[in-house]
Structure 1
């Protein structure tokens, strides 16, 4: 974040002559104080994986989003903070506009990525890549870097999701090359690649693994073990008559109950009665994720 604020400070200093001198009272301590408070808000939101932006960020909104609400909370409970943020900040240094919030999020992402790259340095590493489309029906490529630190611990770092025009091996290879070039990574240090078993990933002639092996023969391909296990379990389940019948019956029940709100309510009431009985008999099994109401979903090959 320091680099971001340095850029902001340098850009604002060039236009300081156009700012009324009455607004510069105490400005000698304003940048550092504002930076420390914003760093705290950004750090708290990032650690808790909270969204920065709000649905309605207008002055009359009851919930302006995590970033503005946390900053307002600090200002309301600390006079020193109130003097340097929100409406008391300089007109061109409030750092509250939506575009500025996006810049702050981007700065956090860049510094996180720089920290990951500094951890890799000149070490050998492997890449894990998968592609899927999001709710907006855009093809996305997720990438994970895997390497070993100085203590011999295997480290895996998720480095981002990138939009790709399609999922052909050529498009994915171009996206990987662009990422490597932008972050100072070299194919000469690549020692492994892990994907699923799709033809565009593991194809022997034009698959992604083949294209990378042509440039770096030491980047050995490993079929994702989780995907292999999933394929094996699905194949075995379909061959077993009892298991196949169980999932077929479960799907029928889900379709029958899920199609009616009244049937859903009856199911909830029945489960509630069973929970009360189990609680009274002191035999209720407790644990994370247990005894919680969830949606009914049909069983499939991926879940």
Structure 2
């Protein structure tokens, strides 16, 4: 396993080193364009959303219409070239399942580019539904399915399944759309598997998950955590133990680790360290206010 981790790490480092200054600048430009649109609409008090944001709408609202110009430029750059698709799925804060689609292709100057082209809401994560969503996106941008030369997903069964997985369904339609398991996802799975073999580490994250479950179990507790966090920040500022400035000392929340996201475990532990005192206060409130012994015992 150590050998696999080393090889994956070296591969990821080679990928990072391969990025050119032009590619990095291009990615930053796209991000800045999205931020510019958001800031412009906000400062001008212009509504983001439209009355009808469906793909068939003639006016999907100011934000989507502005982003459409970016997507048009990406589509023109792809042209009739071959491309690969990289897809990730996750649910958002409103518990809607979202599928992000990124296209990898070589531009006219010979540079490899990764461009985000769409976020698709899907009602289910079944392979057929995911395939339908991807094909719909391709159709909207007049991209030929037969030009797909690669697929990159995580290792979930609905994605990689040999017979009924998304990669198999697309491969049936396009025999050159070879599937590659996401290397970052492989590394994450290896790390999670290794950590579960060490009892103290495994026990720590089980306790962390249990703690987050208790504190985030209701809107009331979330609100208590925010208030306690704000009070703790104010106290530390008064003691001059925290720096003040733009975008510093934001009201935070506990982050739950996710096995398929390699950096989420670090964020989860960091969030608990930042909010340790407010978390203890919420737990004490649960003990004091609980009517049923179950919640009191858990806290």
Could you state the TM-score of these two structures normalised by the residue count of structure 2?
Answer: 0.57
Larger Rg: 1
Query: Contact 1:193–1:219 at 8 Å: present in 2 too?
Result: yes
Cross-structure match for 1:34: none
- Change in Cα spacing, 1:236 to 1:277, as seen in structure 2 (3 Å) is farther
SS of the equivalent of 2:152 reads strand
1:129-168 correspondence to structure 2 within 5 Å? 129-168=87-126
Cross-structure match for 1:48: 36
1:108-123 correspondence to structure 2 within 5 Å? 108-123=66-81
SS of the equivalent of 1:122 reads coil
Cross-structure match for 1:240: 198
User: Is residue 184 of structure 1 aligned with residue 142 of structure 2?
Assistant: yes
Per-residue CA deviations over 1:110-139 (Å, capped at 9, x if unaligned) read 222111100111222100112233344433
Query: Contact 1:140–1:163 at 8 Å: present in 2 too?
Result: yes
Q: What is the Cα deviation at residue 143 of structure 1? A: 0.9
- Change in Cα spacing, 1:251 to 1:270, as seen in structure 2 (3 Å) is farther
Q: 2:128 aligns with which of 170, 176, 190?
A: 170
Query: Contact 2:103–2:116 at 8 Å: present in 1 too?
Result: yes
SS of the equivalent of 2:38 reads coil
- Change in Cα spacing, 1:277 to 1:250, as seen in structure 2 (3 Å) is farther
Query: Contact 2:38–2:63 at 8 Å: present in 1 too?
Result: no
Per-residue CA deviations over 1:185-234 (Å, capped at 9, x if unaligned) read 11222111011112221111111111111121111101111211111111
How many residues matched?
219
Could you state the TM-score of these two structures normalised by the residue count of structure 1?
Answer: 0.56
Instruction: Please provide the CA RMSD for this pair.
Output: 4.3
Structure 2 alignment gaps of length 5 or more: 1-31, 53-57, 265-299
The structure, 1 or 2, with the larger RCO (C-alpha pairs under 8 Å, 6+ apart) is 2
Distance (whole Å) between structure 2 residues aligned to residue 178 and residue 292 of structure 1: 39
- Change in Cα spacing, 1:290 to 1:226, as seen in structure 2 (3 Å) is farther
Q: What is the Cα deviation at residue 252 of structure 1? A: 6.7
Distance (whole Å) between structure 1 residues aligned to residue 258 and residue 251 of structure 2: 20
Distance (whole Å) between structure 2 residues aligned to residue 270 and residue 162 of structure 1: 38
Distance (whole Å) between structure 1 residues aligned to residue 134 and residue 144 of structure 2: 11
Structure 1 alignment gaps of length 5 or more: 1-43, 55-62, 69-96
Distance (whole Å) between structure 1 residues aligned to residue 229 and residue 92 of structure 2: 34
Per-residue CA deviations over 1:72-115 (Å, capped at 9, x if unaligned) read xxxxxxxxxxxxxxxxxxxxxxxxx9779844334323222111
- Change in Cα spacing, 1:270 to 1:171, as seen in structure 2 (3 Å) is closer
